[in-house]
Amino acid sequence: MNLVPSDLSHFDWDNQRVFLAILTEGSLSAAARALHVAQPTVRRRLDALEHSIGTVLFTRSPAGLQPTPDALVLAGHAAAMASAAAAFARAASGPADGVAGTVRVTASEIVGTEILPPMLAALRARHPRLRLELHLGNRNEDLLRRDADIAVRMARPVQAALHARRIGAVPLGLFAAPAYVGRHGLPARLADLPRFALIGPDRAAGDLAMVNQAGLDLSRDDFALRTDNHVAQLAAIRAGGGIGICQHPLARRAPGLVPVLPDLFSLPLEMWVVMHEDLKRMRRVRTVFDHLARSLADYLQGRA
């Protein structure tokens, strides 16, 4: 088997985009919808790619198209090329010395949903030629691979070649909605928590381990409502579904949440803004970086 085409001039990047879309979506029809092309186009491009590398990339099954071992070998390389192509497009979207063009920001779901939108709106009001992409996910995007230009991270970055600014420590605590407290009261000590309706992680063992290291002694079964989505956790707390963990600055926003055992439980979580060292010279990226650093510092101090 030869996974390298004999003639690289016929190695069409659009064929690889189709390959990645099928990997992600699981079928030709779903890939066609994701790429906004006709299904026969997807089929034709897949056939062309398989012909160029001399191997079958997918097999049919009742669950859809299944990648072959060869496809899995190629997946990481194709994803890296997709990231590089997207980074190239962003870099070419505006002059390096101007505040115009595209900047891609990545953040956790809770930060990207609850904290960043007004900050980005204010930035766009000052720089209307900026185009912002906001990717949300609790997995850290690889800035070295240029999956994003700027990241807001809740842990100190460890990769080299990154420019990072520590914003501060975000205090986390236990909170409940006033309606829930009115119906059920408040626990007097941490040991009382399992007698209340708790909101917390489902399968994210790391989240549970982190809060237990901070002083709680809970298992998955202690939570009445379990979800690994932090936005859903906050929504459930606000709706009066029980007691859960929330950032103090978020809890202070209207409608205000009630602190639960604030003297007995507190968990500081570091916040950083990070970008690739090479992007410091690109004015639009630096402008977004500096704006987020200032705005997030104001957020921690209760000024935003």
- 83-94: b (≥16 Cβ within 10 Å) or e: beebbeebbeeb
Cα distances from 171 to residues 161, 201, 246, in angstroms, run 29, 18, 9
Q: Is the pLDDT of residue 8 over 70?
A: no
Between 32-41, 125-134, 156-165, 258-267, the lowest mean confidence (pLDDT) is in: 156-165
How large a percentage of the chain has pLDDT more than 70? 87
Q: Cα(281)–Cα(207) distance, rounded to whole angstroms?
A: 37
Q: Tokens standing for 282?
A: 């690109």
185's CB contacts (< 8 A; 6+ apart) are none
- Give the phi and the psi of residue 137 in degrees, each rounded to 5: 175, 150
More confident residue, 49 or 142: 49
Mean pLDDT, range 114-121, rounded to an integer: 97
Q: Cα(23)–Cα(76) distance, rounded to whole angstroms?
A: 11
Q: Cα(109)–Cα(97) distance, rounded to whole angstroms?
A: 31
Sign of the torsion angle spanned by Cα atoms 247, 252, 255, 257: positive
| Pair 54, 113: CB distance under 8 Å | no
Q: Is the pLDDT of residue 145 over 50?
A: yes
Instruction: List residues bridging with 64 in a β-sheet.
Output: 61
Q: Which helix (H) or strand (E) holds 123?
A: helix 116-126
More confident residue, 201 or 72: 201
Q: What is the mean pLDDT of the chain?
A: 87
| Pair 282, 91: CB distance under 8 Å | yes
Mean pLDDT, range 167-179, rounded to an integer: 96
One-letter amino acid identity for 158? V
pLDDT of 11:
63
Q: CA 245: distance to chain centroid?
A: 19
Q: Is the pLDDT of residue 143 over 80?
A: no
Cα distances from 219 to residues 206, 259, 260, in angstroms, run 12, 22, 19
pLDDT of 6:
47
Q: Cα(90)–Cα(84) distance, rounded to whole angstroms?
A: 10
pLDDT of 48:
87
pLDDT of 5:
47
Between 10-14, 49-53, 73-77, 195-199, the lowest mean confidence (pLDDT) is in: 10-14
| Pair 102, 89: CB distance under 8 Å | yes
More confident residue, 247 or 146: 247
| Pair 71, 81: CB distance under 8 Å | no
Question: Counting runs of H as helices and runs of E as strands, what totals does the chain give?
Answer: 11, 11
Q: Is the pLDDT of residue 98 over 80?
A: no
Q: Cα(200)–Cα(233) distance, rounded to whole angstroms?
A: 7
Q: Residue 73 — pLDDT band, cuts 50, 70, 90?
A: confident
More confident residue, 294 or 35: 294
pLDDT of 96:
59
Domains for the chain: give ranges and CATH numbers.
13-92 (1.10.10.10), 99-303 (3.40.190.290)
pLDDT of 89:
66
Angle at alpha carbon of residue 51, lines to 49 and 54, rounded to 5°: 105
